[in-house]
Chains A and B, each alone.
Chain A
Amino acid sequence: MQIKYLPEKCIGCRLCEMACSGVKEGVFNPSLARLQVASRYKAYKLVNEAKICDSCQSCVRACSTGAIKFEEGRLVFVKDDCVKCGACFEACPTGVLRPGGDEFPLLCDGCQGDPYCVKWCPHGALILEEVG
């Protein structure tokens, strides 16, 4: 399963980011969310954009210590194995993977198949989709 973003349905509420940081970090802070949504007016048009992890596994391949793994269809982060080298951030093609306050990667594990961002999205802009 993969999280998919439908920009035309997004109202820019950012409850997805609030929910993600709340459940993963225990505080409400979009800067600590595993996804990033922006809904802004540019040149008198509404532009909705999002960065969402699509499990491409570039970070897994870039991780030299095995701290980031792909197991049973999900990304897994082993904090004890991370040396904060930053290679995963460099490798992420969308830039959605960011460091948190402690510099460890804010890795999306899809909330074990029941992502909070999707649950909190009010009008179906974030959906879960079968892969392949």
Chain B
Amino acid sequence: MAGYQDLVLRVNLTTGKVATESLNKEWARDFLGGKGLGIKYLYEEVGPGVEALSPENKLIFMTGPFTGTIVPCSGKLGIITKSPLNGYILDCSIGGSAAVEIKRAGYDAVIVEGKSDYPVYLLIEDGQVELKEAGDYWGLCCHDTEEKLKKVYGDDYSVLSIGPAGENLVAYACITSDLYRQAGRGGVGAVMGSKMLKAVVVKGTGAVRAADAKKLMDVTYNAYKNDLLTDTNLWAYTDGTPMIVELSQTTGILPTRNFQQGTFDQFANIKSEAVAAAREAKKGCVSCGLGCGNFTRVGEAVVEGPEYETLSIAGSNCGINDLGAIVKFNANCDAFGLDTISAGGTIAFAMEMTEKGIYDFGIRFGDADKYVELPELIAKREGLGAELALGAKKLAEKYGGIEFAMQVKGLEFPGYDPRGAWGMGLAYATAPRGACHMSAWPVADEAYGEGNPFTIEGKAEMVKDLQHYNAAKFSLILCDFWALSFDIMAEMLSALLGEEVTAQSLEQAGERIFNLARLFNTREGLSAKDDVLPARIHRHPLATGSTEGKTLPEEEFIKMLLEYYSIRGWDNNGVPSGEKLQELGLR
């Protein structure tokens, strides 16, 4: 099938068995690739009640039909597993070069099963696949692991690795690749660590085929020049995500001091111009064309970033006004293998707990010296780090403060305060993996655009549509930063596959994928009771800026949620109806 390699690599770490099998083509047609196809495989292979950190969970690395082709912004790799935070579906993506190497090695997907008795890494060189002993790498930080492996195999290999956080099963451990790119959210690194899999090292030399390469190039070139490389998307090149700091400040949704405020007095220190001043170079993923990566150096600390989510959640939200400290914190999270969002959110919670006198964690807002040291302690579960490794929700369950533990389903909030963007509240509450900005991003309209942030009117429809759009896009796989239409996606996919795919069928695939994620979660016992926001969002008015005095009232939120269920064809408990499943071919 053009666009696919038609091959899945399956690696069982318990038995050491490595095997290949045909890609399920029917599933590929219905769920595309990446996120969607990964969710489908996991749904079929990992049943309810399986512990996320047990050998029965699987870790799926999934490419998409566009991976390794001329289609720009297609270089990300989907990583799908059961979440160690909540037992629900977890899908993440990582940029860089690994996806293209896996596809060029001849595989659409790599499915890792079981658990090794000792540390191993997986070596993939085209058709040659081997599990290697990784005792010499266990305990190393991500950068050191990758550099050491590249010394053995060469700079042209891609490495996906975990740091000490993943090894120590910290619930918000990430997976790193190309030194500075991460699959950050939800603890994919902990799942990898639970399997004793330190790294995947991959090099492919093969080709990816289109039904008609020339046609795909013609169609794509038009989209590339006239849609991608335009002002709508080029902010990713000129600024990258730090541009959002000022937008959030102006609109009063910049998380500050654990979401007590929506503006930060010293925001100028962490806004785009400040990051640009410390920038050394721009870098993109393979196939990108935009190049959002800001290679930044402050003193000895270097990162590709810091991204907006880090600047906000680990910056203003922790009361940190020093860009150098944020870069250092970011670099330490990268090295030890932690998600900067969940780390920042958990630390901000501990800071407020301390300042409110509920429990003394010994760290307060703005305490930059202590804060930069925390990633190592968390990753190693040492001292205060052993507590913070629990994440905000479990910390609150242990010590109190649940009303201002800013999380949904155990996943800490990203950088947009829903009291100044009510649709974003719905997006957080209904995203399959917990509080997440990647399932839908209505703030673009309701806060940064022309929409009304303080109404529920039209938000259920907006969030639903965006969830379908992102589900389809991240399955193909295309990057978030290309705001392209379903029509363009369909045109490129048709040329790739050599068969007509309509925009409408892609939109429906998005809905199918989103509903399957929901089914995965309802099978685990999820229902409306879990689609909730922390009480702070309903009860504590924001303290400053253009959102001063605002909440998202609980009755308004519930009204919006029920409308959302209704237009989705779900019942009042958030369970998809038989009719809807029938319509989507999920039954």
Contacts and interface: CB of A to CB of B under 8 A. Distances in A.
Contact of A15 (B72, B207, B209, B281): B72
B70 A14 contact: no
A109 to B, nearest CB: 17
B217 A23 contact: yes
Contacts of B72: 13, 15, 122
B287 A14 contact: yes
Contacts of B286: 12-14
Given A41-B179, A120-B221, A15 B69 contact: no
B283 A12 contact: yes
B1 to A, nearest CB: 15
Contact of A29 (B155, B208, B217, B291): B208
Interface string A1-23: 00000001001111100110111
A11 to B, nearest CB: 3
A84 interface: no
B469 to A, nearest CB: 24
B543 to A, nearest CB: 40
B70 A19 contact: yes
A54 B224 CA distance: 28
A93 B368 CA distance: 53
Contacts of B284: 11-13
Nearest to B209: A27
A69 B557 CA distance: 73
B353 interface: no
A40 interface: yes
A39 interface: yes
A29 B285 contact: no
A8 B288 CA distance: 17
Contacts of B209: 27-28
B207 A21 contact: yes
The contact size tier of chain B is 35 or more
Nearest to B150: A40
Given A13-B72, A38-B155, A19 B217 contact: yes
A123 interface: yes
A83 interface: no
B287 A15 contact: yes
Interface centre among B156, B207, B286 (most CB of A within 10 A): B207
Contact of A27 (B213, B282, B289): B213
Contacts of B68: 28
B218 to A, nearest CB: 10
A26 interface: yes
A22 B288 CA distance: 16
Interface in B167-222: 178-180, 205-210, 213-214, 216-217, 221
A18 B221 CA distance: 12
B104 interface: yes
Contacts, number: 96
B280 interface: yes
B70 A22 contact: yes
A11 B283 contact: yes
Contacts of A51: none
Contact of B291 (A27, A38, A45, A123): A123
A61 interface: no
A11 B288 contact: yes
A87 interface: no
Nearest to A21: B207
B290 interface: yes
Interface in B294-313: 295, 297, 302
Nearest to B216: A22
A13 B289 contact: yes
Contacts of A25: 207
Interface string A24-62: 011111011000001111101110000000000000000
Contacts of B207: 21, 25, 27-29, 31-32
Contact of A28 (B70, B288, B293): B70
Contacts of A18: 69-70, 287
Interface in A116-132: 116, 119-120, 122-123
Contacts of B285: 13
Nearest to A121: B289
Interface string B327-367: 00000000000000000000000000000000000000000
Contacts of B237: 11, 122-123
B283 A46 contact: yes
A13 B180 contact: no
Given A13-B286, A29-B104, A22 B206 contact: no
A41 B283 CA distance: 10
Interface centre among A40, A42, A122 (most CB of B within 10 A): A122
A11 B217 CA distance: 21
B214 A26 contact: yes
Nearest to A23: B217
B326 to A, nearest CB: 18
A118 to B, nearest CB: 13
Given A11-B237, A19-B217, A28-B69, 18 more contacts: A11-B291, A12-B283, A14-B287, A15-B72, A18-B70, A18-B287, A22-B213, A22-B216, A22-B217, A28-B210, A29-B205, A31-B206, A31-B207, A38-B155, A42-B155, A44-B302, A45-B280, A122-B288
21 contacts: A8-B281, A11-B283, A11-B284, A12-B286, A13-B72, A13-B285, A13-B291, A18-B287, A19-B217, A27-B209, A27-B210, A28-B68, A28-B69, A28-B70, A44-B302, A46-B281, A46-B295, A122-B229, A122-B291, A123-B282, A123-B291
